[in-house]
Amino acid sequence: MDFQEQNWKNFTDQHLHDWHGIWTRYTPTGDVQESFRSLRRFQGSSGKTEIYHLNQYIYS
């Protein structure tokens, strides 16, 4: 298996689920502008040949 195939297999085996976190936006000078909850959802096709990626942002 070549490196690209191994990388794809590692991604589909380890990362196809929901990732919950905090999304932070910064000003050009590096100060925090705002932070809010986020959800990143990764789902694969039945043969794991395609990835579906959805970002959801949860504001107060």
Place of tokens 């970002």: 55
Domain count, the chain: 1
Closest among 60, 12, 15 to 40, alpha carbons compared: 15
State the CB neighbour count (10 A cutoff) for residue 37: 13
Token couple for 20: 């919950």
Instruction: Quote the pLDDT of residue 45.
Output: 95
Q: What Cα–Cα distance (Å) separates residue 7 from each residue in 18, 43, 48, 53, 57? A: 19, 16, 13, 17, 28
Q: pLDDT tens track of the chain, all 60 residues?
A: 799 999 999 999 999 999 999 999 999 999 999 999 999 999 999 999 999 999 999 998
Range of the domain at 32: 3-58
